[in-house]
């Protein structure tokens, strides 16, 4: 129990709870480890729980009618998912997969909804998170509709840097290990096209690739390319 309380305390929306409230929350929480590439849930499965990332990273994606993958989110420590469906009985809206070895805190949906009713402060934080995610998804839809693939790729890199980038002397290192196929699935193109675009950015000194991690070496240069 004390271990779960410690894990809950580092989740942003629970950080202001009192010890007694954390005790109550821990009584309805469990945690589970997921291995790299292991599914947490599949799109269309009955929605049973809400998840919080204590350690690791999660990718959520959907399949279109042709079986193509569309990456929705790349999530990291402290984030919650799924981001829709708290107040209805619909299924999971997307598939969630562990990118690396990941530890999740799990709360059943009915228990979580009861918590939101009892704790309006937590409910407000959840609504704020949902609002941010809706804004992000709206921006992504606009990008997919209006931008060419070069611009969509730049937007995706800048968004990943903002969400989970680590600034150092050489630029901003994306902490999310992402494959070229993942990036292609985010921007709605082929892996070959993303390979070609990333190689162009590398030749211009805008980025560098270290194993599966990308460093943005010239953020302003990438932004200028959008002009």
Q: What is the pLDDT of residues 209-222, one digit of tens each?
A: 887 789 999 999 99
Q: Please give the backbone phi and psi of residue 137, each rounded to the nearest 5 degrees, phi first.
A: -65, -35
| 103 vs 4, more confident | 103
Query: Taking residues 180-184, what's their average pLDDT?
Result: 90
Only one residue has tokens 């590439």, namely 37
* Distance of alpha carbon 217 from alpha carbon 205, whole angstroms: 7
Mean pLDDT of 25-48: 93
80 and 127 fall within a common domain:
yes
Give the C-alpha separation, 103 to 100, whole Å.
10
- Domain containing residue 172: 147-226
Write the pLDDT tens digit of every residue in 85-126. 556 678 898 999 999 999 999 999 889 888 888 888 888 887
Domain-ending residue, one of 139, 157, 172: 139
**CA pair distance 105, 83, nearest whole angstrom:** 15
Query: Nearest Cα to 180, choosing from 148, 157, 146?
Result: 157
Residues 73 and 21 in one domain: yes
| 121 lies in the same domain as 161 | no
Given 79, 109, 139, the domain boundary residue is 139
Q: What is the mean pLDDT of the chain?
A: 86
Domain count, the chain: 2
- 3-state SS assignment for residue 76: coil
Provide the pLDDT for residue 188.
84
Instruction: List, in sequence order, the alpha helices (H) in 41-190.
Output: 109-118, 120-146, 149-164, 180-187
Model pTM score: 0.78
E strand residue ranges, the chain: 29-34, 39-41, 49-55, 58-63, 69-75, 80-81, 95-98, 102-108, 165-168, 171-174, 207-210, 213-216
pLDDT of 162 > 50? The answer is: yes
Task: Report how far apart, in Å, the C-alpha atoms of 108 and of each of 15, 86, 137, 205 are.
Answer: 20, 11, 25, 47
Distance CA 217, CA 190 (A): 24
The reply to whether 103 and 182 lie within a common domain is no
Q: Would you call 209 helix, strand, or coil by DSSP?
A: strand
The pLDDT score that the predictor gives to residue 85 is 55
**Are both 76 and 122 inside the same structural domain?**
yes
pLDDT digits (tens, 9 = 90+) for 51-82: 999 999 999 999 888 778 888 888 988 888 98
Same domain flag for 52 and 88: yes
**Whether the predicted pLDDT of 207 surpasses 90:** yes
Q: How far is CA 165 from CA 120, 141, 173, 200, 204, in A?
A: 31, 22, 5, 21, 21
Residue 129 and residue 154 in one domain: no
């Amino acid at each position: 129990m004390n271990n779960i309380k410690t894990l809950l305390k580092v989740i942003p929306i629970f950080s202001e709870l009192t010890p007694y409230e954390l005790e109550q929350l821990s009584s309805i929480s469990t945690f589970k480890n997921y291995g790299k590439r292991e599914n947490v849930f599949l799109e269309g499965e009955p929605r049973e729980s809400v998840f919080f990332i204590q350690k690791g990273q999660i990718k959520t994606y959907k399949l279109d009618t042709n079986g193509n993958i569309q990456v929705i989110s790349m999530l990291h420590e402290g984030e919650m998912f799924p981001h829709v469906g708290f107040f209805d009985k619909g299924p999971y809206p997307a598939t969630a997969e562990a990118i690396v070895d990941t530890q999740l805190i799990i709360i059943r949906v009915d228990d979580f909804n009861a918590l939101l009713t009892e704790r309006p402060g937590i409910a407000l934080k959840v609504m704020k998170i949902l609002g941010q995610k809706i804004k992000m998804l709206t921006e992504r839809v606009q990008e997919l509709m209006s931008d060419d693939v070069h611009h969509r790729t730049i937007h995706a890199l800048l968004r990943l840097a903002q969400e989970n980038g680590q600034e150092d002397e050489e630029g901003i290192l994306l902490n999310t290990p992402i494959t070229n196929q993942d990036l292609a699935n985010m921007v709605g193109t082929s892996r070959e096209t993303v390979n070609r675009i990333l190689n162009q950015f590398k030749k211009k000194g805008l980025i560098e690739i270290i194993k599966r991690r990308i460093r943005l070496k010239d953020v302003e240069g990438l932004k200028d390319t959008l002009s």
